[in-house]
Amino acid sequence: MTASPTQHSDNSPPDNSGADSLPDIAALHPGELAQLYQSLDDDQRRVLLRESGAQFNAAALAWLDESLVQEVAETLGAAKVARALSEMDSDDALAVFEDLAEDFRDRLFVWLSPATRGHIRRGLQFAEGTAGRIMQSEVPVAPQTWNVGQTIDWMRSFRKDLPTDFYELIVVDPRYHPVGRIPLSRILKNRRATPLTELTETRIHPIAADTSQEAVANLFKRYALVSAPVVDGDGRLLGAVTADDIFEVIEEELQQDLLKLVGLRDAGLFGGLSRSMGSRLPWLAVNFLTVLLAAAVIDAFSGTIERYVALAALLPVVASIGGNAGTQSLAVAVRGLATETLERGQHGRFLRREILISFANGVVMAVLAGGLAGFWFDEPRLGLVVGVAMVANLFVAGLAGGLVPIVLQRIGADPAVSASVFVTTATDIAGFFVLLGLASVVFL
């Protein structure tokens, strides 16, 4: 969440290693205050909240990690939080409201201004992760029949109803359909009598309120947008998504994809231990089950390992290189799917490319690993076995790393969700099977 700055300070958050040394938090920007609060341990946070009292700027709620919002809000009280939300842009107020517990929300609603209450209720009508949920309700709008002078007079008269920061106006027709946009620079550089129709850019990109925020982010990237109107099913203007909203979406999606690759729902930096354990344990259990498959392959060739112990030392080498290669292909695939640069018609070409790259890398690694193994154990045949296993394993790595996220997307699942677990399992099983199977043929 990001609220628009209302005050800037050159002061950096001091090193508050002790609970008894409180900084002058009244001089801090809300973002700096949130950063300071998050840098403290639990006891120091309680001291800061208790000792700062009315000096604690409730606007910092918009910068806090979502797991900390409730504890700060409870200490500040519903009335102070409501005042802060009423001064925020509607999208930031809604984002803070979403992070609060349900019982606190009920108490908070009584204190909210009617306008803020209406903005929040409207935003909550839309599904989470959609354009309607992240849009600003306060939109600088001008009828297409106005001129520059009327527009400037309106903005001055109704400045309290405008967003804290904005960079362009949305032009609407009599049915309140967006028909164009005008950068503020054009308003300022032209005479008062200039009709808005002469300044309007008619090429705009209205966004349906139910559009996913990922699709909105891709639209902003494709057309280098500063803002875009959000419309209902009839094409009427509801609000606008701005670039600062998209920055948050991109950061959020990046963090979520990174966490999903290893099966986590959140980073758990500030949550309780039980919550963090609960988010990690299920996929560790899944990983345990998949590892059992790899263990079963090793067990099937236990006789080979007993007779040629050097294989035990080489198993991690083959598995590690294959796992890393698979993760590389997986990262490229997930990024391509997330940014929509890897479209359905390109899947086959992408897979061929990843397989070719992995195979070529496998040949190089086969020479290195096979040569080292043969020299180390003074057995050229062992080097050959390791080399063939390396080529085969990296081939599987490229195939699995590219294919798993594509398959997940085609069946309607998130391509980032724990794909690394399945890719690593595939490379482990392939590497162990080829290495031990080939060794059984060569040495036994």
How does strand 227-231 pair with strand 237-242? antiparallel
Q: Is residue 294 domain-shared with residue 156, that is, in the same domain?
A: no
In-domain check, residue 13: no
Query: Are both 55 and 100 inside the same structural domain?
Result: yes
- The pLDDT of residue 19: 41
pTM, entire model: 0.64
With respect to residue 130, please indicate whether it lies within any of the assigned structural domains: no
Shared domain for 304 and 428, answered yes or no, is: yes
Residue 93 pLDDT greater than 50, yes or no: yes
Based on the fold, state whether residues 38 and 85 are members of the same structural domain: yes
Average pLDDT, the chain: 86
Does some domain include residue 151? yes
Picking from 203, 237, 259, the residue at the C-terminal end of a domain is 259
DSSP classification of residue 215? H
Q: How far apart are CA 443 and CA 174, in angstroms?
A: 85
Q: Which residues of 377-389 are buried (b: 16+ CB within 10 A; e: fewer)?
A: bebeebbbbbbbb
pLDDT single digits (tens) 369-392: 999 999 998 889 999 999 999 999
For 47-90, what is each residue's pLDDT tens digit?
888 888 778 898 999 999 888 999 999 999 999 999 999 989 89
- For residue 275, the model assigns a pLDDT of 62
Give the mean pLDDT of 93-113: 93
In this predicted structure, what is the pLDDT of residue 280? 67
According to the model, what pLDDT value does residue 248 have?
84
Q: What is the pLDDT of residue 337?
A: 82
What does the pLDDT read at residue 5? 36
Task: Tell whether 1 is covered by a domain.
Answer: no
* Overall number of domains in the chain: 3
pLDDT given for residue 105 in this prediction: 93
Residue 236 sits in the same domain as residue 368:
no
Give the residue from 79, 101, 125 where a domain finishes: 125
Q: Which of 62-66, 397-401, 411-415 has the weakest average pLDDT?
A: 411-415
The answer on pLDDT for 354 being more than 70 is yes
Residues near 291 by beta carbon (within 8 Å), at least 6 away in sequence: 425, 428
Task: Determine what percent of the chain is predicted with pLDDT higher than 90.
Answer: 49
Question: Is 18 domain-assigned?
Answer: no
Does residue 340 carry a pLDDT above 70?
Answer: yes
Residues 114 and 164 in one domain: no
State the average pLDDT over residues 97-103: 93
pLDDT at position 409 is: 85
77: containing domain: 25-125
Same domain, 161 and 233: yes
> Quick one: which of 80, 31, 32 has its CA closest to 54?
80
Q: Is residue 286 part of a domain?
A: yes
The helix (H) or strand (E) run that includes residue 239 is strand 237-242
Q: List, for residues 266-302, the tens digit of each pLDDT value.
A: 555 555 566 666 666 776 777 788 888 888 988 899 8
Kindly state whether residue 9 falls inside one of the protein's structural domains.
no
Same domain membership, residue 418 and residue 298: yes
- CATH assignment of the domain containing 67: 1.25.60.10
Confidence class of residue 335 from pLDDT cuts 50, 70 and 90? confident
Q: Specify the CATH number for the domain of residue 353.
A: 1.10.357.20
CATH number, domain of 195, equals 3.10.580.10
Same domain, 211 and 180: yes
DSSP H or E segment with residue 228: strand 227-231
Mean pLDDT of 408-425: 79
310 shares its domain with 420: yes
269 three-state secondary structure: coil
- Angle subtended by helix axes 310-338 and 380-410, to nearest 10: 30
Residue 121 has pLDDT above 70, yes or no: yes
Let me know whether 161 and 241 are in one domain. Answer: yes
Taking alpha carbons only, the member of 166, 170, 142, 167 closest to residue 231 is 170
User: Which residue, 207, 226, 259, sits at the end of a domain?
Assistant: 259
> Is residue 353 situated within a structural domain?
yes
